[in-house]
Structure 1
């Protein structure tokens, strides 16, 4: 899962929960409707869930509160430690690992979720993990990802230019450094691997893709 970004996670862990609640003006537009996004993912998820990039445990907490069985995977020890301090998560086991390298739960799962994680994978890695997840899910199982995506290259270019014009240097650097996909690319990853998708836009940057497995991968 883009482990080249691990230093960012380590440095961000202590401030992450503050930033998602608007503590950093530079990222307010990215985190707009953050909690609503988690609610959308939770409502669409099944009962037995593999969560990637659980971070400080915000989505995990929503899923647990909804009575779902969650198997969270997070590469950052710093973020796992913060998550374990949250009241509903004290008895949850947070596993080390990432979207590519993880220990499969012994129990059957019907849903795979993540929020603001998928963009850490390169295009080839994105395609590979979707194929891998197809093998973990039954027919009717779901993958639900919230992440920054763009409708087209032109849309990305326009938003990046606006971010730079506004002087949001760190956000601009993120947009140029990480592997934010175009929605037609995301659609291809899923449709080529046996999934049918729907999309919901949560803010200028973030979309939720909900993909249902309709056939086995070739």
Structure 2
């Protein structure tokens, strides 16, 4: 459920914003157009929003700016402290993509950026099933995260990163649970979503899934 990465997030909390700003050359391409990516996800959300993996609250800020009511979920205590300092009245909960307190009201959209890859494919499937049960017809999931077109794309990206000498990034790509679009398509469709994908930078894909009407 991604909680094995909490120590990493606690350590990262102090310099996360510098990383996403492109200050770390090794991860510059991963976070290319970061602000634009957050804007896209926020604008594609609707109504009351459940946000997972809020980090330091950068996407949260975009959502609040659009007038969304936000229920925010983050497993890292230090990340939550960063976000709470920015938004004192935010509904912010300790939880992850699968284990989290039930929101007090109906949710219209579920959003996340740079976080869904912390679940294995089986856990991703469990999470999307859970969200399908939560959302009504027309409800949306809007995620932006690193993924691969297919296995050939994965291996080619690993080769490129190795050639760049980016050992930390290569270790991340090989050890975290990055998946492929064909796997994601099967998962979303299995649980009643119509999904489309759009590439936003070299690494990141937009995943926009709409809950279909039951037959």
Does TM, scored on the shorter chain, surpass 0.5? Answer: yes
Question: What does residue 12 of structure 1 align with?
Answer: 12
**Contact 1:135 1:216 (C-alpha < 8 Å) held by counterparts:** no
Q: CA offsets, 1:167-204, max 9 Å, x none?
A: 00100000000000100000000011100011111111
Instruction: Report deviation, 1:90.
Output: 2.1
Instruction: Report deviation, 1:216.
Output: 4.8
Question: What does residue 102 of structure 2 align with?
Answer: 104
**Contact 2:70 2:91 (C-alpha < 8 Å) held by counterparts:** no
**Contact 1:42 1:63 (C-alpha < 8 Å) held by counterparts:** yes
Is 1:49 the counterpart of 2:55 in the alignment?
no
Q: CA offsets, 1:108-137, max 9 Å, x none?
A: 010000111110001110111101100100
Is 1:70 the counterpart of 2:66 in the alignment?
no
Of 204, 209, 212, the residue aligned with 1:211 is 209
Is 1:175 the counterpart of 2:173 in the alignment?
yes
**Contact 2:117 2:146 (C-alpha < 8 Å) held by counterparts:** yes
Is 1:115 the counterpart of 2:89 in the alignment?
no
Q: What secondary structure does 1:14 align onto?
A: coil
Runs of 4+ in 1 over 3 A off after TM superposition: none
Q: What secondary structure does 1:104 align onto?
A: coil
Q: What secondary structure does 1:36 align onto?
A: helix
| TM-score normalised per structure 1 | 0.96
Q: How many residues align?
A: 215
Question: What does residue 40 of structure 2 align with?
Answer: 40
Of 123, 126, 130, the residue aligned with 2:124 is 126
Q: What secondary structure does 1:180 align onto?
A: coil
Q: What secondary structure does 1:8 align onto?
A: helix
Gaps of 5+ in 2: none
| TM-score normalised per structure 2 | 0.98
In structure 2, distance between residues paired with 1:53 and 1:216? 29
